[in-house]
Amino acid sequence: MGAIFRVNIIESENLVNTLKEIKKHKFKIAATSLQTEESIYDIEYKKMAIVIGNEANGVSNEVLDISDKKMKIPMPGKTESLNAAVATGVVLYEYVRQNLK
């Protein structure tokens, strides 16, 4: 509760242009994708912006093309995907866990 006041949030009309601007400041871009073998646990979350796709279409190809890393949440069994909000929570938990070390 109240975390929204301690998190940097960027609203953007053009995500690709915003991500390109972020990269100019030496940030890496990590995007969720099912087309990778790299897990969210394989990523080093230092100076990293994270892009989470929606349930229906995922992250756009244009965003994936400029991303430095593509990652997925390991899913045991036959489950294909998670709700975007749940996936965001899982990825951000790993981000925070790594930065607590």
40-97 pLDDT, tens digit each: 999 999 999 999 998 888 999 999 999 999 999 998 888 777 889 999 999 999 998 9
- pTM here is 0.85
Buried b or exposed e, range 52-63, using 16+ CB within 10 angstroms: bbeeeebbeeeb
**Dihedral of CA 61/42/51/17: which sign?**
negative
Which residues form the domain of 65? 3-99
What's the number of domains the chain is made of? 1
Cα end-to-end span (Å), the chain: 23
